[in-house]
Structures are given as structure tokens and as C-alpha cells.
Amino acid sequence: MKHLFSILALPFNVTTTLPLLLMFFESRSNTGMNWISFPWFWIGVVALIDGLFLLIWTISLIATKGQGTIAPWAPTKKLVITGPFRHVRNPMITGVLLVLIGEALIFQSVWLLAWAIFFFGLNTIYFIMKEEPDLSKRFGKPYEEYCRHVNRWIPRISPWDPDETSN
């Protein structure tokens, strides 16, 4: 139940509730164009699907390997450095950003794009000031080693292997 609550409270509201509210209040005139024929629609669909896949994968790893939730009020008990975490430190936020950018492209919404940018900025501040220091306190040297090899936002091309760096 705590997993469902954290999913509904965080990524669901960020990717669904708030974008729906923004689109409801966004006034756009319908030009009668077939938006599906434009490349940005299909790029948006791919981004949205990739983002959802990344979100589901990350949430499942946090629940199974980390033995916690995505919510700061019920954090993981173990450091998760498998799957997409071997490429980027915050794959869940990357997944959310892909969904938001996908929505902005699909609906051609400047408001949704602005929300994605604001969300990214807010999370950057939060991660630097709160989450990363907390993770460093909780997991110590293994987390610090992980941070030295895996970027916060820009994914590594090759996955990080902690066994290779400890030898």
C-alpha cells in the first residue's frame, strides 16, 4: 500500500494530474491541423513510452532491491546500483522528464514544456541540497564511490561496474 501511495503522490501527480490541469487552463486555438502527421508527435510518443518504461523499471528496482519506496518519507534500506542506476543516478526523474517532454510534444504545449523545465530545476535543487547529502550519510563510502562514477543527470554510455573500480 505504501508503494501505491508513493506512486500516486509523486510520479502520477507530476505526469498526469498537473499536466491535465495545465492543459485544461491552457487556451489554444484549434487550427484544424492533423498533429499526428508531424514528427514531433511521434518523437513525443517515443519519449513518453520510454519514460514510462524507465519509471516502471526504476520503481520496481527500488521496491525489490532497495526494499523501500520512491518517496522520501519511506526511503530504500539498501543502495540500488543495478539496471538503469548503473547509467544515471536518478533514472526515475529521467523517466518523469521523458514523460513530461513527450506530453509537451504530443500536445504541443508550451505550458507542459515549462512544467518539465520547472520540475527539472526543482529536482536539481532538491537532489543537491537534500537527497544526495542524506544518501551520503545513510550509505557512506559506497554511495560516494557511486557518485564519482555515475552522473546525476547525464547517462553513462557504458554501465558502471562497481567490481571493476574496486579492484
Q: How far apart are CA 120 and CA 114, in angstroms?
A: 10
Specify if 113 maps to a domain. yes
What is the number of structural domains in the chain? Answer: 1
Contact 145, 89 (CB under 8 A): no
> Which pLDDT score is estimated for 35?
58
Please indicate, yes or no, if residue 93 is contained in any of the structural domains: yes
Residue from 89, 96, 97, 94 nearest 136 by CA: 89
| Residue 165 domain flag | no
- For residue 25, being part of any structural domain is answered with no
Over its C-alpha atoms, the chain yields an Rg (Å, rounded) of 18
DSSP line for 6-65: HHIIIIIIIIIIHHHHHHHH---------GGGSHHHHHHHHHHHHHHHHHHHHHHHHHHT
CA 40 to centroid of chain Cα atoms? 21
| CA max distance for the chain | 62
In a domain, 109, yes or no: yes
CATH number at residue 118: 1.20.120.1630
Whether 96 is covered by a domain: the verdict is yes
Do the domain assignments include residue 142?
Answer: yes
pLDDT in tens, the chain (167 residues): 554 555 556 677 777 777 777 777 776 544 444 556 678 889 999 999 999 999 999 999 998 999 887 777 778 899 999 999 999 999 999 999 999 999 999 888 888 999 999 999 999 999 999 999 999 999 999 999 999 999 999 999 999 998 876 55
Q: Which residues form the domain of 108?
A: 39-159
Residue 17 maps to a domain? no
